[in-house]
C-alpha cells in the first residue's frame, strides 16, 4: 500500500467521524413580546455554547459547538417579525468548521440572558436566549399608555366616544362654608 494514499484517506475518515458527532437542531422557536423576546433551540444532546454582545451596530452572537445549520434552524430568520421590539434580523456563519454562529442583529441594545433546560417529557435539551430591554418595562405604565392611545383614537374618530357628564352622585361640587 502506498503511504501517500493513506494520508488523504485518513483525512476523510477523521472528518467523517468528526461530522458524525455534530449535534442536530431539531427545533428552533421564537416568541417576541414587549417584555422580552425568547429564542429556543432544541436538540437531543447537550451543546457547548457561548454568547457575546457587540456594539456599533448592536448584535448578540451565539456560538454553538458541534452544530451544523439544519433546515429547522435555517428557517429562524424568516420568523423574525417586524413588530419584534428587539431583533431586526438573524444570520448564520461559522467560526471553525464545527462551530456555528447565530448572529442576532438588534434594533437597540439589550440585556441578554442565556440558559439551558434539560430534557423533559417530549422536549430535548433546550438552549434558551432571552433578550430584555436595558430599562425594564413598567406593566402599569404600559397599560396606561395603551388605554390613553385607545381613548385618543376613539375620541378623534367620527362617531367616537362622546363627552359624558359625570355619573349621578359623582358630580363635582364647590365647597361651601359648611364644609
pLDDT tens digit at each of 179 positions of the chain: 444 444 444 444 444 344 445 688 999 999 998 889 999 999 999 989 999 999 999 999 999 999 989 999 999 999 999 999 999 999 999 988 889 999 999 999 999 999 999 999 999 999 999 999 988 777 787 778 788 888 877 765 555 545 545 445 445 455 556 55
Length of the chain equals 179
3-state secondary structure of 147: helix
Rounded to whole angstroms, the Cα distance separating 28 from 124 reads 12
* Three-state DSSP string of 67-95: ECCCHHHHCHHHHCCCCCCCEEEEEEEEE
Q: Are 41 and 28 in contact (CB under 8 A)?
A: yes
**Across the chain, which distance is largest between two alpha carbons, in Å?**
117
Q: Which three cell numbers stand for residue 166?
A: 359625570
Amino acid at each position: 500500500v502506498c503511504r501517500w494514499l493513506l494520508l488523504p484517506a485518513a483525512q476523510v475518515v477523521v472528518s467523517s467521524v468528526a461530522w458524525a458527532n455534530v449535534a442536530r437542531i431539531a427545533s428552533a422557536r421564537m416568541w417576541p413580546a414587549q417584555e422580552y423576546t425568547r429564542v429556543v433551540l432544541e436538540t437531543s444532546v447537550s451543546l457547548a455554547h457561548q454568547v457575546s454582545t457587540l456594539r456599533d451596530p448592536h448584535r448578540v452572537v451565539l456560538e454553538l459547538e458541534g452544530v451544523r445549520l439544519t433546515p429547522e434552524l435555517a428557517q429562524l430568520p424568516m420568523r423574525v417579525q417586524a413588530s419584534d421590539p428587539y431583533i431586526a434580523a438573524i444570520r448564520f456563519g461559522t467560526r471553525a468548521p464545527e462551530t456555528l454562529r447565530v448572529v442576532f442583529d438588534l434594533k437597540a441594545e439589550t440585556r441578554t440572558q442565556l440558559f439551558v433546560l434539560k430534557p423533559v417529557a417530549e422536549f430535548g435539551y433546550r438552549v434558551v436566549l432571552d433578550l430584555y430591554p436595558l430599562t425594564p418595562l413598567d406593566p402599569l405604565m404600559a397599560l396606561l399608555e395603551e388605554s390613553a392611545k385607545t381613548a385618543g383614537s376613539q375620541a378623534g374618530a367620527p362617531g367616537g366616544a362622546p363627552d359624558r357628564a359625570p355619573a349621578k352622585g359623582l358630580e363635582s361640587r364647590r365647597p361651601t362654608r359648611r364644609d
